């Protein structure tokens, strides 16, 4: 039965950008200024995972380098040449290359755009309950509250 | 800590194709002959959702038209011009267009390639327990066993 609540299909880059560039407290928030996420899965009412098409301008990064305890993540590069940084070092990516980040292994990852052209990629992450995020390079940790909101603490457990 | 079991990043089209084109019984199996899936998420050990890069040759289709009871699905067209068929009719897709298929609404969907060039798309689906699949156009239903294997029945519940 047709469902008028959701579109049938969407041109991804015409989807509305997320209005808030990051949920992080300062001084971390400002480091996300070069990133623009357009949620795609939400447009269709998907609940079990999220999909965004995300643009990184030159100098931008996908996130603070981080690892999830429960959430698997996946990225597929559509345009541009980001560098993937993990505990294994730096890996040059290019259009058509994908990477997956398995929950629970503690290997922090993020993409940085050191080139002079935009990077565009698809990112997928599931919505597992009880997720938590560790940040190997920053005095930060995050835990997912039961109401689905992220709570940010320093490494000693004090709230930001 | 580096994890040697999994690659850091992969050129998606260099990933190995799934060896078996479909789990369906005949006469449905043969209808999947024009489809080639390369599992991507599995390469990185992702467990909560699957991602494939899938090619449809001219005349190929993504699946029998179907709807999941529990699994959300998402597709992003990378190349070619498939037609998305749902209960709402036919929608012409093109590179850069995405669509999401919310679990549980019963709206059967599939992509068909009626053009003379290949279609290439990314598909994402979560791995919710207790999933079942309905096929509005075929005398078929499928249920996910507790061991993670699909069991195919006709609409009266008899096994194929």
Tell me which of B79, B105, B124, B131 to substitute to probe the interface with A (most A C-beta atoms closer than 10 Å).
Answer: B124
Query: Are B46 and A102 an interchain contact pair (Cβ–Cβ within 8 Å)?
Result: yes
On the question of pLDDT at B3 being above 60, the answer is no
Gap from A135 CA to chain B (nearest CA, Å):
13
Q: DSSP code of A75? A: E
Distance CA A45, CA B42 (A): 25
pLDDT of the residue at B1:
46
Chain A residue numbers touching B45 (CB-CB < 8 A): 100, 102
Distance from CA of A54 to the nearest CA of B (A): 13
* Yes or no, beta carbons of A41 and B72 under 8 Å apart: yes
For the stretch A39-92, pLDDT in tens is 999 999 999 999 999 999 999 999 999 999 999 999 999 999 999 999 999 999
CA distance linking residue A6 with residue A41, whole number of Å = 11
Residues of B in contact with A100 (CB under 8 A): 6, 40-41, 43-46, 51
Residue with tokens 């996910």, as numbered in its chain: B144
Distance between CA atoms of residues B76 and B93, nearest Å: 10
Residues 6+ apart with CB under 8 A from A8: B84, B86, B88, B91, B99
A129 pLDDT more than 70 = yes
C-alpha of A157 from chain center: 23
**What is the rounded distance in angstroms from the CA atom of residue A140 to the CA atom of residue A133?**
9
pLDDT digits (tens, 9 = 90+) for B104-127: 999 999 999 999 999 999 999 999
Minimal Cα distance from B47: which residue of A?
A: A72
Tell how strand B110-112 and strand B83-86 pair up: antiparallel
Q: Residues of chain B with pLDDT > 70: what percent?
A: 98
Locate the chain B residue with the closest alpha carbon to A94.
Answer: B11
- A132–chain B nearest CA distance, Å: 16
Q: What integer is the mean pLDDT of B55-83?
A: 97
pLDDT at A52: 98
A85, containing H or E segment: strand A83-86
pLDDT > 90: percent of chain A: 86
Question: Mean of the per-residue pLDDT values for chain B?
Answer: 94
pLDDT of residue B4: 61
Mean pLDDT over residues A132-147, rounded? 93
Sheet containing A83-86, strands listed edge to edge, beginning at the edge strand earlier in sequence: A89-92, A83-86, A110-112
For residue B68, the surrounding DSSP H or E stretch is strand B67-68
pLDDT of residue A4: 61
Question: How does residue B5 score in pLDDT terms, banded at 50, 70 and 90?
Answer: confident
Using a pLDDT cut of 90, give the percent of chain B over it. Answer: 86
Q: What is the mean pLDDT of residues B48-71?
A: 97
For the cut 90, the answer to whether the pLDDT of residue B148 exceeds it is no
Contact list in B for residue A45 (CB cut-off 8 A) is 100, 102
In this structure, are residues B144 and B131 in contact, taking their beta carbons and an 8 Å threshold? yes
User: Please, what's the b/e burial string for B22-50 (b: 16 or more CB within 10 A of its CB; e: otherwise)?
Assistant: bebeeebeebbebbbbbbbbbbbbbebbb
Residue B58 near residue B97 (C-beta atoms within 8 A): no
A1: pLDDT strictly greater than 50: no
Average pLDDT over residues B4-32: 91
What average pLDDT does chain A have?
94
SS3 label, residue B141: strand
Q: Of the candidates B77, B48, B47, B73, which has an alpha carbon nearest to the alpha carbon of residue B125?
A: B73
For A18, A67, B12, the CA distances from A86, given in Å and listed in that order, are 26, 10, 19
| Record: contact A45-B10, CB cut-off 8 A | no
CA distance readout (Å), B67 to A51, A129, B109, B137: 20, 25, 7, 11
CB nearest to B3's CB, from A47, A105, A124: A105
Contact A111, A84 (CB under 8 A): yes
Cα B19 from Cα B72, distance rounded (Å): 24
How far B130 CA sits from the closest chain A CA (Å)? 14
């Amino acid at each position: 039965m047709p469902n008028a609540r959701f579109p049938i299909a969407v041109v991804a880059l015409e989807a509305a950008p997320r209005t808030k560039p990051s949920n992080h407290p300062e001084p971390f928030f400002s480091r996300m200024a070069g990133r623009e996420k357009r949620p795609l899965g939400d447009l269709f009412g998907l609940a079990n995972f999220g999909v965004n098409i995300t643009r990184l301008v030159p100098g931008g990064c996908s996130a603070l380098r981080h690892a999830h305890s429960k959430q698997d993540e996946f990225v597929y590069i559509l345009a541009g040449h980001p560098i993937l940084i993990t505990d294994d070092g730096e890996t040059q990516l290019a259009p058509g290359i994908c990477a997956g980040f398995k929950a629970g292994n503690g290997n922090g990852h993020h993409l940085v755009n050191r080139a002079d052209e935009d990077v565009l990629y698809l990112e997928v992450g599931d919505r597992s309950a009880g997720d938590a995020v560790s940040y190997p390079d920053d005095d930060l940790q995050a835990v997912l509250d039961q109401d689905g909101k992220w709570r940010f603490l320093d490494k000693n457990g004090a709230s930001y």
